[in-house]
Chains A and B, each alone.
Chain A
Amino acid sequence: MGPPRRILLIEDNPDDVALTLRALRTHRVANEVVVVEDGVEALEYLLGEGKYAGRDLRDQPAVVLLDLKLPKVDGLEVLRRLRADDRTRLLPVVVLTSSKEEQDLVASYSLGANSYVRKPVDFEQFVEAVRQLGLYWLLLNEPPPAPR
């Protein structure tokens, strides 16, 4: 097994970024966390376009933590585009968002989200959620084979 694979956090709220990073740190998740702040940048990163042109697409993150409310291109649209592209079709995407509106849940799962986690207000619950996410996706889950 090579170096621990990285996590892509797509989140525009710096507070949430800081809290997420802190929660991961608290649980000693050593994986590198790449943070992008909007949908456009997320797609560029994952599809190797724009300022990420030429990025080695075989080196995809172990899991994508996707917020739904994003500037420019929202989370659901990012998910749709990822699932429409062969290179990212199987990429594990966890929707990590404030809302538990039914419409968001239904839309996320129908677009092929692997998981849907609601960010609780209670920080301890939030940390617990992140811990479980890390445990599952980084340790237990066997990622799909990297695209050639």
Chain B
Amino acid sequence: MPLLALVLAAALEGTARLSIRVPYAEVVLVPLVAYGAYREGTRAGLWTALVTVAHAAWTLSEPGVPFRYGADGLLRLAVVAVVAAFSVLLMADRPGRRREAAVPAARPGDAGPAGSALSEGAFELLFRHNPQPMWVYDAETLRFLAVNRAAVEKYGYAEDEFLRMRITDIRPGEDVPRLLEDVGRPRPDLQHAGLWRHVTKEGRLLDVEVHSHRLQFAGRPASLVVAYDVTDRLAAERALRESEEHFRSLVEQSLVGVYLIQDGVFRYVNPALASILGYTREELLDRLGPKDVSHPEDWPLVEGNLRRRLEGEVVAVRYGFRCVRKDGRVIHVEVHGARTVYRGRPAVLGTLVDVTDQVEAQAALRALAAELEERVRERTAQLEAANRELEAFSYSVAHDLRAPLRAIDGFSQALVEDYAECLDEVGRDYLRRVRAASQRMGELIDDLLQLSRITRQPLQAEEVDLSALVQRIAEVLRERQPERRVELRVQPGVLARADPKLLRVALENLLHNAWKFTGMRQLAVVEFGVTHTEHGMACFVRDNGVGFDMRYADKLFAPFQRLHKPSEFPGTGIGLATVQRVVARHRGRVWAQGVPDEGASFYFTLPGLEVRHGTAQADPADRGQP
């Protein structure tokens, strides 16, 4: 505006030189002062006024003598000066005039000279104290023309630093070309927004959303910029996006089928689900629904479960049913679905696993179990049959095998008695041998039957007083051989949980052996008691008889195994085998220790073996005795 005044002044001067004197030319410029002040502000107004006054001073000078005035001229100059000054004063404060630093217009396109005018207070509030960083930059030089406090705080530059910088200085170097391209592009819109990266003085990168408005600032095309720091928001969005990507990739690559059902059709399926059902995803999405893939017999169940979830009756449900694949194959699946919201309406989101293999394996397992049970039943029946046969066999042995022996023995005896005179000594010896052999066979049969009876009989365990049993058996043995001197030492109160009949058989055999193998002792000693062994508490039967060589200890308990000649000690060799069977049937163990010519000890364990005190003469070595 001052320039315009200068030009006008020059023009007026030019015309004056051409002797075309404009009357009151000195006031021609005064309206320009008023307009300048109104349009451009006080400073421009004052400059215009200065030009105007200078022009007036020149114009009103005495002709030929510059700056010398007549009284009239001086008055007129004073008037011009006063009017110009008042014009500036009056017009510069008029509402609606353009301010030195324009404030963004409230509406686009409303930033013209007739735009909203703001008081200095409002400007302070809206620009200086605006919590968002704001600045104005020169559209041509890209220099900062004004910055607010928030910008100073955010970017770390002082205001005067800012005003020496260009907007490219707050960008990362690599973004500058794009920025220059952007500001150079003509924009029809006054308002412009964009996402940029800024750098603070400290070098920190900021993600900012920038809104800029074109305006005139101090007479120059400029842009007002509001920068919103969206670094945190973008970071959160990025994190969310990454997390979503993770989940998406999880779902997409999952081996488990994932589906979303709404309105009876699949709205989403992952590749696994499509592959389980044998369709492509495109075939399923928005076209097919659970009804199309469910086994018709299971559809009511599936439909009911879907409905219950959609209606909110249950939040989540897990169950199995059958599906029919595209190729018609029936598969077993297990789903775990939950109610969800998809596009604002209820839907069912769930996972589906193909459990056909497991179901078939289970079925196979059940079939196998059934088959095994059947086999066990068959085996049991076979065993029972075998047992019955064994029973019949034993019964037959008991009855029939003995009858011929009786005949052999009986008629041999009859021969000896009735025809003695026809036989010499040799003949009679032969008959004796026949009888001895048949009697021995009778004993063998009896012992074998006893052995088999021990295996066949059911075990009936009860508390047995072994000490008393030993005493009774010994009495019988004493009566049988009253001439023998046998010292019997029995530890009293030895109890066990056992079958009394079987135990009697075992003890009879052991004591009978002890009696037999001490036959040559002047004083035989037979002991019974309980002792601690490497296999725990065990009963023992000990004698001071002929003993045995430990080398043959393992042969003792096998049937028909004998360590002595029949001429020395008669026997069938079944006795200890019988003992072992009795003990084994009680889940005990039996073993022997012997020294030739010194004696033998037989040990056996039994369930519930204990020594009850309080009865007469306990073993002093026994625990619990005072």
Task: Assess whether A99 is in contact with B409, with CB atoms less than 8 Å apart.
Answer: no
CA A101 – CA B457 in complex, angstroms?
11
Contact assessment for A16 and B406 in the assembled complex, using a CB-CB cutoff below 8 Å: yes
Cross-interface CB contact of A126 among B400, B404, B410, B412, cutoff 8 Å: B410
A10 within 8 A of B: no
A98 close to B398 (CB less than 8 A) = yes
B404 touches A15 (CB 8 A): yes
- CB of A108 within 8 Å of the partner chain: no
Instruction: Give the chain B neighbours of A121 by CB distance below 8 A.
Output: 402, 405-406, 409, 438-439, 441-442
Query: In the docked arrangement, what's the CA distance between A32 and B45, Å?
Result: 176
**A98 x B403 contact (CB < 8 A):** yes
Instruction: Return A2 CB to nearest CB of chain B, in Å.
Output: 32
Q: Is the CB of A123 within 8 A of B395?
A: no
| Residue B61 is within 8 A (CB to CB) of chain A in the complex | no
How far is A1 from B441 in the complex, measured between Cα atoms in Å?
Answer: 45
Determine whether B561 belongs to the interface, using a CB cutoff of 8 Å to chain A: no
B414 within 8 A of A: yes
**A19 neighbours in B (Cβ, 8 Å):** 406-407, 410-411, 414
User: Contact at B407–A122, with CB atoms within 8 Å?
Assistant: no
Contact digits for A97-140, partner B, Cβ 8 Å, 1 yes 0 no: 11111111000000000000001111110100000000000000
Known: A100-B398, A121-B439, A126-B410. A15 touches B403 (CB 8 A): yes
Q: Are B439 and A122 neighbours in the complex by a CB distance under 8 Å?
A: yes
Given contacts A123-B412, A124-B413, contact A15 B407 (CB under 8 A): yes
Cross-chain contact of A98 among B399, B438, B453 (Cβ < 8 A): B399
B55 at the A interface (CB under 8 A): no
Would you give the shortest CB distance from B269 to chain A, in whole angstroms? 75
* A99 & B398 in contact (Cβ 8 Å cutoff): yes
Q: Which residues of A contact B351 (CB under 8 A)?
A: none
Q: Which residues of B contact A18 (CB under 8 A)?
A: 410-411
Smallest distance from the beta carbon of B502 to chain A beta carbons, Å? 12
Give Cα distance in the complex from A15 to B414, angstroms. 12
A78 to B441, CA, bound (A): 31
Are the CB atoms of B442 and A123 closer together than 8 Å? Answer: no
- Asked if A69 and B406 make an inter-chain contact with CB atoms under 8 angstroms apart, the answer reads no
Residue tally, chain B, CB below 8 Å to A: 24
| B442-489 contacts to A (CB < 8 Å) | 442, 449, 453
Greatest chain B CB density within 10 A among A22, A68, A103, A123 is at A123
- The yes or no answer to A141 lying at the interface (CB within 8 A) is no
* Bound-state Cα–Cα, A15 to B411, Å: 9
Contact, CB under 8 Å: B439 / A101 = no
Whether A15 touches B399, Cβ cut-off 8 Å, given contacts A101-B449, A102-B453, is no
What is the CB-to-nearest-CB distance from B572 to chain A, in angstroms, rounded to a whole number? 13
Instruction: Report how far A69 CA is from B399 CA in the complex, Å.
Output: 7
| CB neighbors of B among A8-26 (8 A) | 13, 15-16, 18-19, 22
Chain A residues with CB under 8 A of B410:
15, 18-19, 22, 123, 126
Does B198 sit at the interface, judged by CB under 8 A? Answer: no
Is B132 in the interface zone, CB < 8 Å from A? no
Interface flags, B372-409, vs A, CB<8A=1, else 0: 00000000000000000000001100111011111101
Q: Is B99 an interface residue (CB 8 A)?
A: no
Please state if A97 and B442 are interface contacts (CB–CB under 8 Å).
Answer: no
Q: Kindly provide the distance from the CB of A60 to the nearest chain B CB, expressed in whole angstroms.
A: 27
Partner of B406 from A98, A100, A102, A104 at Cβ < 8 Å: A98
Residue contact B395 to A99, C-beta cutoff 8 Å: yes
B415 to chain A, nearest CB (A): 11
Q: Which residues of A contact B404 (CB under 8 A)?
A: 15
Complex alpha-carbon distance, A98 and B435, angstroms: 18
Q: Which of A104, A122, A126 has the most CB of B within 10 A?
A: A122
Residue among B404, B406, B410, B439 with the highest chain A CB neighbour number at 10 A: B410
How many Å from the CB of B417 to the closest CB on chain A? 8
Interface pair A16/B442, CB less than 8 Å apart: no
Given contacts A121-B438, A121-B442, A122-B439, contact A98 B402 (CB under 8 A): yes
Residues of A within 8 A of B407 (CB): 13, 15-16, 19
A101 near B395 (CB under 8 angstroms)?
A: yes
**B391, closest chain A residue (CB):** A103
Shortest distance between the CB of A129 and any CB in chain B (Å): 11
- The CA of A99 and the CA of B453, in the complex, are separated in Å by 13
Closest to B413 in A: A123
Tell me the smallest distance from the CB of B329 to a CB of chain A, in Å: 63
Q: How far is the CA of A103 from the CA of B457 in the complex (A)?
A: 11
CB distance from A69 to the nearest CB of B (A): 5
* Chain B residues positioned under 8 Å from A102 (CB to CB): 453
A69 and B409 contact, Cβ closer than 8 Å, known pairs A99-B395, A121-B438, A121-B439: no
A65-86 to B contact mask, C-beta < 8 Å, 1/0: 0001100000000000000000
Chain A residues numbered 22-56 whose CB sits less than 8 Å from any CB in chain B:
22
Q: Are A16 and B395 in contact (CB under 8 A)?
A: no
Chain B proximity of A125: nearest CB distance (Å): 9
Q: In the assembly, what is the distance between CA of A72 and CA of B358, in Å?
A: 62
Q: Which of B403, B413, B435 contacts A16 (CB 8 A)?
A: B403
Interfacial residues of chain B within 413-437, with CB under 8 A of chain A in the complex: 413-414, 435
Closest to A69 in B: B399
Q: Which residue of B lies closest to A97 (CB)?
A: B399
Cα of A69 to Cα of B396 in the assembled complex, Å: 9
Q: Which residues of B contact A123 (CB under 8 A)?
A: 406, 409-410, 412-414, 435
Contacting residues, chain A, for B412 (C-beta < 8 A): 123
* Residue of B395, B406, B413, B439 touching A119 (CB-CB under 8 A): B406
**Bound CA–CA A23/B438 (angstroms):** 19
Smallest CB separation, A111 vs chain B (Å):
17
Known: A19-B410, A99-B395, A124-B413. A13 touches B449 (CB 8 A): no
In the assembled complex, which residues on chain A have CB atoms less than 8 Å from the CB atom of B441? 121
Contact A98 B409 (CB under 8 A): no
Q: Chain A contacts of B442 at CB under 8 A?
A: 120-122
CA distance A107 to B412 in the complex (A): 33
Closest to A101 in B: B398
Are B395 and A15 in contact, with the CB atoms below 8 A?
no
Question: Which single residue of chain A is at the shortest CB-CB distance from B441?
Answer: A121
Considering the chains assembled together, what is the distance between the CA atoms of A69 and B132 in angstroms?
A: 121
Residues of A within 8 A of B439 (CB): 121-122
Closest to A119 in B: B406
| Additional pairs, 10, CB under 8 Å, beyond known A16-B407, A69-B399, A121-B438 | A15-B411, A16-B406, A19-B410, A19-B411, A22-B414, A99-B399, A100-B398, A119-B406, A121-B409, A124-B413
17 contacting pairs across A/B (C-beta < 8 A): A13-B403, A13-B407, A15-B403, A18-B410, A19-B410, A98-B398, A98-B400, A98-B402, A98-B403, A101-B449, A101-B453, A102-B453, A103-B395, A119-B403, A122-B442, A123-B412, A123-B414
The 8 closest A-B pairs by CB, nearest first: A121-B442, A15-B407, A99-B398, A123-B413, A123-B410, A19-B410, A98-B402, A69-B399
Q: Which residues of A contact B (CB under 8 A)?
A: 13, 15-16, 18-19, 22, 68-69, 97-104, 119-124, 126
